[in-house]
Protein backbone atom coordinates (compact mmCIF):
# COMPACT_ATOMS: atom_id res chain seq x y z
CA UNK A 1 0.00 0.00 0.00
CA UNK A 2 1.26 3.42 -0.91
CA UNK A 3 1.92 5.73 1.95
CA UNK A 4 -0.38 8.65 1.35
CA UNK A 5 1.96 11.24 2.74
CA UNK A 6 4.61 10.23 0.18
CA UNK A 7 2.36 9.85 -2.83
CA UNK A 8 3.06 13.07 -4.69
CA UNK A 9 0.87 12.22 -7.68
CA UNK A 10 -2.07 11.18 -5.55
CA UNK A 11 -1.82 14.18 -3.26
CA UNK A 12 -1.61 16.54 -6.17
CA UNK A 13 -4.64 14.99 -7.77
CA UNK A 14 -6.62 15.14 -4.53
CA UNK A 15 -5.52 18.72 -3.88
CA UNK A 16 -6.69 19.76 -7.34
CA UNK A 17 -10.05 18.21 -6.66
CA UNK A 18 -10.28 20.00 -3.34
CA UNK A 19 -9.38 23.36 -4.86
CA UNK A 20 -11.96 22.80 -7.54
CA UNK A 21 -14.52 22.03 -4.89
CA UNK A 22 -13.71 25.18 -3.00
CA UNK A 23 -14.09 27.19 -6.14
CA UNK A 24 -17.40 25.57 -6.82
CA UNK A 25 -18.61 26.19 -3.29
CA UNK A 26 -17.55 29.78 -3.56
CA UNK A 27 -19.48 30.14 -6.77
CA UNK A 28 -22.55 28.60 -5.19
CA UNK A 29 -22.26 30.95 -2.26
CA UNK A 30 -21.92 33.88 -4.61
CA UNK A 31 -24.95 32.80 -6.54
CA UNK A 32 -26.96 32.40 -3.38
CA UNK A 33 -25.63 35.45 -1.64
CA UNK A 34 -28.90 37.26 -2.28
CA UNK A 35 -30.64 34.70 -0.13
CA UNK A 36 -28.07 34.89 2.64
CA UNK A 37 -27.11 31.27 2.20
CA UNK A 38 -23.67 31.06 3.68
CA UNK A 39 -24.03 27.71 5.29
CA UNK A 40 -20.89 25.78 4.49
CA UNK A 41 -22.63 22.51 5.16
CA UNK A 42 -24.99 22.92 2.23
CA UNK A 43 -23.00 21.44 -0.58
CA UNK A 44 -24.52 20.37 -3.80
CA UNK A 45 -24.53 16.59 -4.34
CA UNK A 46 -22.33 17.10 -7.39
CA UNK A 47 -19.66 18.67 -5.25
CA UNK A 48 -19.81 15.92 -2.70
CA UNK A 49 -19.24 13.09 -5.11
CA UNK A 50 -16.36 14.59 -7.05
CA UNK A 51 -13.62 13.03 -4.96
CA UNK A 52 -12.01 10.06 -6.64
CA UNK A 53 -9.28 8.97 -4.23
CA UNK A 54 -9.37 7.36 -0.84
CA UNK A 55 -10.51 9.69 1.95
CA UNK A 56 -7.07 9.60 3.52
CA UNK A 57 -5.71 11.98 0.90
CA UNK A 58 -8.34 14.59 1.56
CA UNK A 59 -8.01 14.19 5.29
CA UNK A 60 -4.28 14.72 5.14
CA UNK A 61 -4.62 17.76 2.89
CA UNK A 62 -7.41 19.17 5.02
CA UNK A 63 -5.36 18.72 8.17
CA UNK A 64 -2.34 20.40 6.62
CA UNK A 65 -4.47 23.31 5.43
CA UNK A 66 -6.00 23.74 8.86
CA UNK A 67 -2.67 23.51 10.56
CA UNK A 68 -1.04 26.04 8.26
CA UNK A 69 -4.04 28.29 8.56
CA UNK A 70 -3.94 28.19 12.34
CA UNK A 71 -0.26 29.13 12.31
CA UNK A 72 -0.83 31.98 9.88
CA UNK A 73 -3.65 33.27 12.04
CA UNK A 74 -1.36 33.10 15.04
CA UNK A 75 0.95 35.50 13.22
CA UNK A 76 3.62 33.07 12.07
CA UNK A 77 5.02 34.18 8.71
CA UNK A 78 4.21 32.03 5.73
CA UNK A 79 7.83 31.01 5.26
CA UNK A 80 8.16 29.84 8.85
CA UNK A 81 5.20 27.55 9.12
CA UNK A 82 6.30 24.42 10.92
CA UNK A 83 4.72 21.10 10.05
CA UNK A 84 5.30 17.45 10.78
CA UNK A 85 7.61 15.70 8.39
CA UNK A 86 4.70 13.65 7.08
CA UNK A 87 2.86 16.83 6.20
CA UNK A 88 5.62 18.54 4.29
CA UNK A 89 5.01 17.00 0.89
CA UNK A 90 1.29 17.75 1.08
CA UNK A 91 2.08 21.32 2.09
CA UNK A 92 4.52 21.88 -0.76
CA UNK A 93 1.95 20.56 -3.22
CA UNK A 94 -0.74 22.79 -1.77
CA UNK A 95 1.53 25.80 -2.02
CA UNK A 96 2.38 24.98 -5.60
CA UNK A 97 -1.25 24.58 -6.56
CA UNK A 98 -2.41 27.64 -4.67
CA UNK A 99 0.14 29.73 -6.52
CA UNK A 100 -1.14 28.40 -9.84
CA UNK A 101 -4.70 28.84 -8.71
CA UNK A 102 -4.21 32.45 -7.70
CA UNK A 103 -2.58 33.15 -11.03
CA UNK A 104 -5.48 31.55 -12.83
CA UNK A 105 -8.15 33.13 -10.67
CA UNK A 106 -6.63 36.29 -9.25
CA UNK A 107 -8.19 38.03 -6.30
CA UNK A 108 -9.63 41.52 -6.60
CA UNK A 109 -7.12 44.19 -5.70
CA UNK A 110 -9.85 46.23 -4.06
CA UNK A 111 -11.90 43.83 -1.99
CA UNK A 112 -9.93 40.57 -2.20
CA UNK A 113 -12.79 38.59 -3.71
CA UNK A 114 -11.67 35.84 -6.07
CA UNK A 115 -12.19 37.07 -9.59
CA UNK A 116 -14.07 34.14 -10.94
CA UNK A 117 -15.56 36.41 -13.60
CA UNK A 118 -12.34 38.16 -14.39
CA UNK A 119 -12.87 37.63 -18.10
CA UNK A 120 -15.55 40.24 -17.87
CA UNK A 121 -12.97 42.70 -16.66
CA UNK A 122 -14.65 43.64 -13.40
CA UNK A 123 -14.88 42.21 -9.92
CA UNK A 124 -18.19 40.47 -9.31
CA UNK A 125 -18.15 41.50 -5.66
CA UNK A 126 -17.33 45.21 -5.72
CA UNK A 127 -17.37 46.15 -9.39
CA UNK A 128 -13.73 47.20 -9.45
CA UNK A 129 -12.27 47.03 -12.94
CA UNK A 130 -9.58 44.42 -13.16
CA UNK A 131 -6.11 45.71 -13.74
CA UNK A 132 -3.15 43.47 -14.18
CA UNK A 133 -3.16 40.45 -11.94
CA UNK A 134 0.01 40.97 -10.06
CA UNK A 135 1.18 38.27 -7.73
CA UNK A 136 -0.85 38.74 -4.61
CA UNK A 137 0.63 37.41 -1.44
CA UNK A 138 -1.78 35.28 0.47
ZN1 LIG B 1 -13.62 43.51 -5.71
- How confident is the model over 125-133, as a mean pLDDT? 68
Q: Which band of pLDDT confidence, cut at 50, 70 and 90, is reported for residue 4?
A: very high
* Cα 57 to ligand 1 centre (Å): 33
How many beta carbons lie within 10 A of that of residue 54, not counting itself? 13
- How far, in Å, is the centroid of ligand 1 from the Cα of 129? 8
**131 band by pLDDT with thresholds 50, 70 and 90:** low
More confident residue, 119 or 66: 66
For the whole prediction, is pTM greater than 0.85? no
Centre of ligand 1 to C-alpha 122, Å, is 8
**CA atoms of 69 and 2, how far apart (whole Å):** 27
Q: How far is the CA of 137 from the centre of ligand 1 (A)?
A: 16
Residue ranges covered by each domain of the chain = 4-104, 106-138
134 Cα to the center of ligand 1, angstroms: 15
Amino acid sequence: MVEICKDREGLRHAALEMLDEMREQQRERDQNSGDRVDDRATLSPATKTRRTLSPGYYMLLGRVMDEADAQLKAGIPHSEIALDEDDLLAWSILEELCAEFVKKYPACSMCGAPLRDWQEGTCAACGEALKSSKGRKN
